[in-house]
Each structure stands twice: as C-alpha cells, then as structure tokens.
Amino acid sequence: MFASILIFLLVLSVLVLAHEFGHFWVARKNGIWVEEFGFGLPPRVFGKKIGETIYSINLFPFGGFVRLHGENNEEEIEDPKRAFLGKSKKVRFAVIIAGVVMNFLLAVFAFAIIYSFSGIPRDTALVKVIDIASGSPAQSGGVVVGDIVKKVDGIEVKSVDGFIKRVEEKKGKRIEIEIENEKKIKLTPRENPPEGEGPLGVVISTTEIYFPPVWQRPFYGIYYGFKDALFWGKTVILGFGSMLTNLFRGVVPQDVAGPVGIFAVTSEAAKIGVLALINFIGILSVNLAILNILPFPALDGGRLLFIFIEKTIGRKVLPKVEAIIHSIGMIVLLLLLLAITAHDIRRLIAAGSISGFIENIIR
C-alpha cells in the first residue's frame, strides 16, 4: 500500500508540475513576477524562497498553483511593470493557456514513449486470425491462429468490417472461407453466439506491430502519440457532454471517479508495468487539460472567460469581483471533490477490493 501511495503521488506530481510549469515558464518569459510555485492546495506545509519565487508544498496534494504578482488585486501591486494584470490580453491569455498546452504535450510525450517501446501499428489489408474461441465453428472447422482470410464465399475481403459484413449476412447458412495458402474451409456462422463471441468465434485484425529503426521511433511515436492525445481529448469532451446532459435530466453520473478512483486505477496500472503506468499518465494528462479549459471559476477556462468578457465589453471586470468569483468557484470545486471522494470510498468498501472497484467504474 505504501508503494502504491508513493506511485500515486509521483503520478500526481508529474501532472501538476507539468501544468504549473507551463504557467510559470510563459509568465517568466513575459516578464511577470512569479511570487509562488506551489504543489497541492493551501495551507502551506513547507516553502523555500529561491531567487524571487517561493517554491511550496501544500496540505492537500490534489492540485497546484502559480501565484503571479498582481494576479487578483491591483491595490497590492508593488511592481506594475511585472504585474499580471498590467499585461496585455494576449500575454495573459498565453500565460493561462500554457498549463493546458503543457498537459497536452505531456500526454503526447507519454504516448510517444509507449509507441517507441511497444512498436508502431500499421494496416496490412490482410485479415488475420489472432484468436479463436474454444468450441466455436472456426475451431471445429480447422481454422487456426495465424490464418489469413482471403475470401468469404468467393468474395475477397481486405478489412475487418468487410469480413464481418460477409459473415453476418450468412448467419445460419453454410459458407466457404478461403485461407491464404488456398485452403478452403466450410463453416456455418452461429445465429446466436455466446456473449463476447461472433458468429464464427474468431478475433481478426488487419493491424500488425512493427519496429522501425531506433532513430525513427521517436518521430513515429510523436506522430501516433499526437493522434492518441487527440483521440482521448475527443473522448473526454464527449464524456463531459454526456455527463452534463444527464445532470440536466436529473441523472447523477455513476462513473465519475475522484482522487480515490485515480489512486485505485494508478495502483492497478503500476502492477501491470511501467508502460501501462505511463499510458495512464497520458490519459490523465488529457483529462486534466480538458477539465482545466472548462469555463468554470477558479479553473483556467474560467480565467480565460474573463479575458473574453473584457474584450467584449472593452474594459476589465473589477479584479476584486473576479477574485471573489474565483474564490467561490474554488470552494465549490473543493466541496465537489470531497463529495466525489466520499462516494469513491463507499464504492471501494462495497466492492471489497481495488480490482472490484475498478470493474464497477468501467461498467
């Protein structure tokens, strides 16, 4: 358990520090005084001043922050030229969006590592049998793992969808499958196969894993890592959309997980191996990027919203008013976090184990 907690804190630290470093780096590049770079949420447990910035560790390890000079209150500004509020909308936008960009880049980097070590997928246009269910028509007919299907009832197939379509059309009827070595097998696809199995009981794929030269792998990894980050970003956005829709309908989402849920999944990923854990970090990083861009007070998206309001009305919202709104948003987020955590703990106790808890989340 102690090792799991350390891994969880390490994963959380990587995500938060990457996000906050984005804010920190862009702020410094634009001449803004960074007063504090904090891991976790206040109150402060430990802090050390290096140069002009305090680097702190705070009590609640569920986030982080960068405190910029003149970020919320014009009256407290000591150095107007280095104050956040004194910078242009363009600079403030860049500082705020930098955290989201860093989380997205972290996800790309994590996925790139996976592809660099696990190989690059490519489509072969060859329908290959990669698994066969016990007692299935395919096993009875003599199909073996590794067979490449060329034709179904005389019609050439070059894709998974094409193969499935031909077999589905012939359920309950005798068909002939031609294998690459000119072997022909006659089978009858089941009309009502067992759950999780198809009519023939085969798992097929047109994808193979290949390993390009070592010097090329990082480039391939970044390309496919970028595609994976976009895929997970789309998935997360659709998930948020579905959750909000259900909330408006009065349905409380059951598959939302908080820190306890993330801890459970992190522990299980770590048991599988380092690559599984890195892959999970990539997925979490995309989630964090999307979450932070939401236009809710205290989140990066909420701060961006005030910049858009300023651009629309032609003047700034009073910093004190904005600060109060963000403070209220933070309180709401903390209460929501506590509620989700309590719900996670109840589900974990009811499940009786971490693996059972994760199965409940997935369902």
48 in Cβ contact with 63 (< 8 Å): no
Rounded Cα gap, residues 12 and 234, in angstroms: 22
Active site residue 20: yes
Rounded Cα gap, residues 111 and 98, in angstroms: 20
Please state, in angstroms and as integers, the Cα–Cα distance from residue 90 to each residue in 134, 290, 310, following that order: 62, 21, 12
- The partner residues of 156 in beta bridges, in order of sequence, read 151
Give Dmax over CA atoms of the chain in angstroms.
84
The candidate with the shortest Cα–Cα distance to 295, out of 314, 313, 308, 310, is 308
- The partner residues of 360 in beta bridges, in order of sequence, read none
Rounded Cα gap, residues 350 and 356, in angstroms: 9
Q: Which amino acid belongs to residue 106?
A: L
String of DSSP letters for 129-188? EEEE-TT-HHHHHT--TT-EEEEETTEE--SHHHHHHHHHHTTTS-EEEEETTS-EEEE-
Rounded Cα gap, residues 220 and 238, in angstroms: 27
310 in Cβ contact with 317 (< 8 Å): yes
Reported as type and span, the H/E element at residue 20 is helix 2-29
The candidate with the shortest Cα–Cα distance to 236, out of 155, 290, 164, 165, is 290
Active-site entry in 20, 36, 178, 322: 20
- In sequence order, the 6+-apart residues with CB closer than 8 A to the CB of 165 are none
Structural tokens at position 99: 């955290």
Catalytic residues: 20
